[in-house]
Amino acid sequence: MSELLKRIRRTSLHARIMKAEDTIPFFRDGMDLGWSGFTPVGYPKVVPLALADYVEKNNLQGKMRFNLFIGASIGGDVEDRWASLRMTDKRWPYQTGKVVQQQVNDGTVRMGDKHLSLYAQDLAYGFYTKERGGGFDMGLIEASGITEDGAIILCGSVGVAPEVIQNSDKLIVEINTAIPSFEGLHDIVMNEKPPFKRPYLVTRVDDRVGSFYVPCDPDKIIAIVESRETDKGRPLSPPDEMSEQIAANILDFFQFEVKAGRLPKNLLPLQSGVGNIANAVVGGLVKGPFSDVNVWTEVLQDTMLDFFDSGKLSFASSTSLSLSEPGFKRLYENWDKYTSRVVLRPIQYSNHPESIRRLGVIAMNTPVEFDIYGHANSTLVNGSRMINGIGGSGDFLRNAYLSIMHSPSTRPSKTDPTGITCVVPFATHVDHTEHDLDVLVTEQGLADLRGLSPRERAKEIIARCVHPDYRPIMEEYFERARHECCGKAIGHEPHMLFKVFKMQQHLAERGTMKIANWD
User: Domain for residue 310, yes or no?
Assistant: yes
User: How many domains is the chain partitioned into structurally?
Assistant: 2
Q: What is the rounded CA–CA span in Å between residue 474 and residue 407? A: 17
User: Domain for residue 486, yes or no?
Assistant: no
Domain CATH number, residue 195? 3.40.1080.10
**Is the same domain home to 150 and 110?**
yes
Nearest Cα residue to 182 out of 152, 215, 219, 160: 152
Q: What is the pLDDT of residue 1?
A: 67
Consecutive H or E run containing 141 = strand 136-146
Give the model's confidence band at 59: pLDDT under 50 very low, under 70 low, under 90 confident, else very high: very high
Q: Which residues neighbour 189 within 8 Å (Cβ) at sequence distance 6 or greater?
A: 162, 200, 209, 210, 211, 345, 346, 349
Strand-strand pairing, 410-411 and 420-421: antiparallel
Q: Which residues neighbour 197 within 8 Å (Cβ) at sequence distance 6 or greater?
A: none
Q: What is the pLDDT of residue 121?
A: 95
DSSP assignment of 115-134 equals -HHHHHHHHHHT-TTGGGTS
Domain, as residue range, for 129 = 2-227
Amino acid identity at 322: S
**Is the same domain home to 291 and 419?**
yes
Give the model's confidence band at 384: pLDDT under 50 very low, under 70 low, under 90 confident, else very high: very high
Q: Answer whether residue 305 shows pLDDT above 90.
A: yes
Tell me the pLDDT of the chain averaged across its residues.
Answer: 96
**Using CA of residue 416, residue 420, residue 426, residue 427, what is the dihedral sign?**
positive
Q: What is the pTM of this model?
A: 0.95
pLDDT digits over 77-108, tens only? 999 999 999 999 999 999 999 999 999 999 99
Weakest-pLDDT range from 32-46, 191-205, 269-283, 452-466: 269-283
**Is the same domain home to 201 and 339?**
no
Give me the helices (H) in 453-501, please.
454-465, 471-487
> Cβ(100)–Cβ(388) under 8 Å?
no
Active-site annotation holder among 298, 369, 460, 493: 298
Judge whether 298 counts as a catalytic residue: yes
Is pLDDT larger for residue 210 or for residue 234? 210
Residue at which a domain ends, from 227, 251, 275: 227
User: How many Cα atoms occupy the beta-carbon half-sphere of 159 within 13 Å?
Assistant: 34
Q: What is the pLDDT of residue 239?
A: 80
Strand-strand pairing, 362-365 and 270-272: parallel
**Is the same domain home to 154 and 295?**
no
User: Domain for residue 501, yes or no?
Assistant: no
pLDDT digits over 460-500, tens only? 999 999 999 999 999 999 999 999 999 999 999 999 999 99
Alpha carbon distance, N-terminus to C-terminus of the chain? 73
**Is the same domain home to 117 and 189?**
yes
